[in-house]
Structure 1
Amino acid sequence: MNSATEPPASDRPATAAAATPAAVATDPAAADLPSSVARHRPFVLFWFGRVLSTLSFQMLSVAVGWQVYNLTGRALDLGLVGLAQFLPMVVLTFVVGHVADRYDRRTIASICMAVEALAAGVLAFGTYEGWLTRDAILVIVAIGGAARAFESPTMAALVQGVVPRAMLPQAAAWSTSATQTAQILGPALGGLLFGFGSTVAYVVACVFFALGALVVSLIRIERAIPSKEPVTFKSVFSGISFIRSRPVILGTLSLDLFAVLLGGATALLPIYAKDILHAGPWGLGLLRTSPALGALAMSVFLAHYPIKKNVGPMLFASLGVFGLATILFGLSTNILLSMLALVLLGAADVVSVVIRFTLVQLQTPNEMLGRVSAVNSLFVGTSNQLGEFESGVTAALFGVVPAVLIGGVGTIAIAGLWMFLFPALRRLRTLEG
């Protein structure tokens, strides 16, 4: 792997040390900080905006997946839904990052949520009028995916703008909890509302997206908007160059990409709920909620007992548990056991999420955080949306259960391979490197 010399101290991003009591005491502005980000109004608005957006997205995922499978009955079409969400992210990644580093991140996120609200409204209207086909759903999902391709990295980069740097570690933990909370409530709420009709689920998602856009637009930015750096070929791709210069970050992102790519069994949950577990829409909601439940529990645990040492070994161990939980889920024919397996899967996955998010936030300068977050979102999107496509194709070729088992075994194999490809990551002891 390529490596780069360490930048001078004046150019290095602040680390967790910036948040220590000593640092706060010597900063006059920090002396007036609230004791918790929960009392910091800009971050509270950010938190609610993120919850509303993620909640709506999860509701749409349940409703769209169930409706598409009802329309066609083909596993491959579930994979196409994931592909329709993923392709815009691939095409727009480098544009997204530069836009987030040149313009008001708050405005960008609000516009994106408004577009997603419009997409949900069209899904509701098309369903109510009866003209919504599989192809029409895929087109609408792709439009929403394009908006989300801008929203996700922009919201991640916005964290540094809504809280003082001294509160950034705490804000990162709360931001993660927002996502996990919405991922718990969203699928269950989506499954419940779908029981009253897909139109109802789409309308509620539309309203929530619109509320999220309004809330984010009210945020007061704590820091100045990044300067409008001239657009050059080098600046557009500087996010990749930055990640390549840090093998530990590159190893973490790529490990998450390939491991979760193979373990993306969530795309097949509608089939498990309907044909294997015979649980119906409510069962699908419970299954979609289970990974987030495990992730939230692990997030709370890590908030009280943060990762301080043996970061590399812990990362690889979590991927091993992820793969084993995927295998357990694939073999299960009992909904309670399936839920337990998904809870373990989510708990294991959040360990890598926390490590990745913390590394990116603490080691990336604010002026290029949008570009780095965009590349990070591409990796995350690849492991999720493209992973769903891979699962759909594998299920169509080999069957549903074999597809899940192949994914679990593949995840464990990737973790083992990365231990040798990235020895620096294997030996990583702290999040500060």
Structure 2
Amino acid sequence: MDPYAALRFREFNVFLLVRFAMVFAWSMQFIVIEWQVYSMTKDPLSLGLIGLMEVIPAVSTALFAGHFVDQNEKRNLLVKCIFGFSTISLGLFILSLPSLAQHTDAKTILYAIYTLVFFGGIVRAFIGPTIFSLIALIVPKNIYPNAATWSSTTWQLGAVLGPALAGFSISWIGVHWSMCLIFGFSLMALLLLFQIERKPILNPKIGEPVFQSLREGLRFVFGTKAILGALSLDMIAVLFGGAIALLPIYAQDILHVGSEGFGVLRAAPAVGAAVTMLGSTRFPLHKNAGKKLLLAVFGFGLCMIVFGLSTSFWLSVAALFLSGAVDGISMIIRQTILQLKTPDNMRGRVASVNSMFVGSSNELGAFESGLTAKLMGTVTAVVFGGTMTLLTVGFTALISPTFRKLDLQRDIDEHEVG
């Protein structure tokens, strides 16, 4: 297949710009919040609470968001999501005003930050399924695997540059103006989105009762072994491999590298993933996808153990880079499985289940890491998480021979013919 097939569609290029701007802003915002909160509290659990405040609304509203996405026009729905994110960014910008900190109790500001993060979780519950559904309306079906690769690559590039710039901008211009920069990128995404036309609603069951719709979506996910296996494996791995949430502690208290080093550490996994994803446009991963996914998650667990034990800055950077490289393999395979095996009328609901399994496990993983770090120490918590990831991969490989043998070549051939 032409490695640039999806890029030959103008609206898809606009979509990639929108996605990059949003991921850049969102990932940068999360890093700045982490730095600000830990600087205020010096408590590892406070970092875990950031994740918990986002995951509670994201999980509780995810299925309803999927139903809503399947029932409505996708472009305008994404406009509303980005507007909501922009409003939250503006609120965080105001909360970071130095004059506000001088006249307001620190706990009040902290609780206000947690509140905005909570509302951000609601926005995230809608934005993921909307983006996933919109891709399928911009490119033809036979281009889905290539489009999924470019979309995931763009996501990772934003996740590379967002954290890296966050670390440096905190040092150069401070938290307050870093928040202003985030707000600017969200507005840019909003304006770009209007370059994409409104899309038809490909759901023959408009007006379907909510709970009937939710049951149908869940039945499909749990009845499709390839989707269920990929989501379950990634969820457990991310849940116990959430050491990234503890990076402010490593940067400030273990490696002693400051905000600049924090930015490098935070960007290293995304750089590794971006390298993998750019390479995958030339060397597809769909053959023997099950084995490759298992090996990738196993490698991720090993990298987390090395990172947890490291006291060298550059060894830590290398371990995080490799963790991102293997995680990029996992992400591409999972997204390809979802795009190829999900019917058009269920994309919102399936993407919502995906966000519950994988996206929300990032925040639960952050909470787990923060809690275990407080109970057993930071280094022990990271090594424990990596070890649990290795055990999960071994258990999955043992009980699911069908998943080990998963190969996506037949699905891709069918779409090529179609």
Query: TM bucket by the smaller chain?
Result: over 0.9
Equivalence map 1:149-164=2 (5 Å)? 149-164=125-140
Give 5+ residue unaligned stretches, structure 1: 1-19, 22-33
Q: Does 1:214 align with 2:183?
A: no
- TM-aligned CA distance change 1:173 to 1:221, over 3 Å: farther
| Amino acid corresponding to residue 22 of structure 2 in structure 1 | S
| Amino acid corresponding to residue 94 of structure 1 in structure 2 | L
Equivalence map 1:82-121=2 (5 Å)? 82-121=51-90
Write out per-residue CA displacement over residues 217-275 of structure 1, whole angstroms, 9 at most, x where no aligned residue: 33124655545241242212322111111112111110100111001100000000111
**Secondary structure, counterpart of 2:407 in structure 1:** coil
Q: Measure how far apart 1:309 and its partner are.
A: 2.7
1:361 pairs, out of 324, 329, 339, with 339
| Amino acid corresponding to residue 219 of structure 2 in structure 1 | S
Q: Measure how far apart 1:376 and its partner are.
A: 0.6
Q: Does 1:287 align with 2:265?
A: yes
**TM superposition score normalised by structure 1:** 0.89
Q: Distance in 2 between matches of 1:142 and 1:233?
A: 25
**Secondary structure, counterpart of 2:248 in structure 1:** helix
Equivalence map 1:109-148=2 (5 Å)? 109-128=78-97, 129-130=100-101, 131=104, 133-148=109-124
1:198 pairs, out of 158, 172, 175, with 175
Q: Measure how far apart 1:431 and its partner are.
A: 5.3
What is the CA RMSD across the aligned residues, in angstroms? 1.7
Q: Distance in 2 between matches of 1:156 and 1:299?
A: 18
Does the Cα contact within 8 Å between 2:286 and 2:333 map onto a contact in 1? Answer: no
Q: Distance in 1 between matches of 2:314 and 2:255?
A: 10
**Secondary structure, counterpart of 1:237 in structure 2:** helix
Q: When the two structures are aligned, how many residues end up with a matched partner?
A: 402
Does the Cα contact within 8 Å between 1:109 and 1:154 map onto a contact in 2? Answer: yes
Does the Cα contact within 8 Å between 2:236 and 2:392 map onto a contact in 1? Answer: yes
Q: Distance in 1 between matches of 2:285 and 2:27?
A: 28
Q: Measure how far apart 1:353 and its partner are.
A: 1.0
Q: Does 1:271 align with 2:240?
A: no
1:77 pairs, out of 46, 51, 61, with 46
Does the Cα contact within 8 Å between 2:95 and 2:113 map onto a contact in 1? Answer: no
Does the Cα contact within 8 Å between 1:161 and 1:221 map onto a contact in 2? Answer: no
| Amino acid corresponding to residue 199 of structure 1 in structure 2 | H
Give the structure 2 partner of residue 179 of structure 1: 155
- Could you tell me the percent identity over the aligned residues? 38
Give the structure 2 partner of residue 319 of structure 1: 297
- TM-aligned CA distance change 1:373 to 1:308, over 3 Å: closer
- TM-aligned CA distance change 1:40 to 1:309, over 3 Å: closer
Q: Distance in 2 between matches of 1:232 and 1:64?
A: 35
Q: Distance in 2 between matches of 1:389 and 1:431?
A: 38
Does the Cα contact within 8 Å between 1:256 and 1:380 map onto a contact in 2? Answer: yes
Write out per-residue CA displacement over residues 77-111 of structure 1, whole angstroms, 9 at most, x where no aligned residue: 00000111111111101111011101111111111
2:278 pairs, out of 294, 297, 300, with 300
Q: Distance in 2 between matches of 1:204 and 1:348?
A: 31
Write out per-residue CA displacement over residues 331-390 of structure 1, whole angstroms, 9 at most, x where no aligned residue: 111111111000110111111211111011011111111100110111112321110000
Q: Distance in 1 between matches of 2:291 and 2:62?
A: 31
Q: Measure how far apart 1:391 and its partner are.
A: 0.2
Q: Distance in 1 between matches of 2:226 and 2:139?
A: 27
Give the structure 1 partner of residue 328 of structure 2: 350
Does the Cα contact within 8 Å between 1:260 and 1:384 map onto a contact in 2? Answer: yes
Q: Measure how far apart 1:330 and its partner are.
A: 0.4
2:31 pairs, out of 62, 76, 79, with 62
**Secondary structure, counterpart of 1:242 in structure 2:** helix
Q: Distance in 2 between matches of 1:359 and 1:60?
A: 30
**Secondary structure, counterpart of 1:54 in structure 2:** helix
Q: Distance in 2 between matches of 1:431 and 1:118?
A: 43
Moved more, 192-201 or 73-82: 192-201
Q: Distance in 1 between matches of 2:45 and 2:309?
A: 21
- TM-aligned CA distance change 1:170 to 1:430, over 3 Å: closer
Give the structure 1 partner of residue 379 of structure 2: 401
Give the structure 2 partner of residue 255 of structure 1: 233
**Secondary structure, counterpart of 1:219 in structure 2:** coil
Q: Measure how far apart 1:164 and its partner are.
A: 2.2
Give 5+ residue unaligned stretches, structure 2: 412-418
Does the Cα contact within 8 Å between 1:76 and 1:393 map onto a contact in 2? Answer: yes
**TM superposition score normalised by structure 2:** 0.92
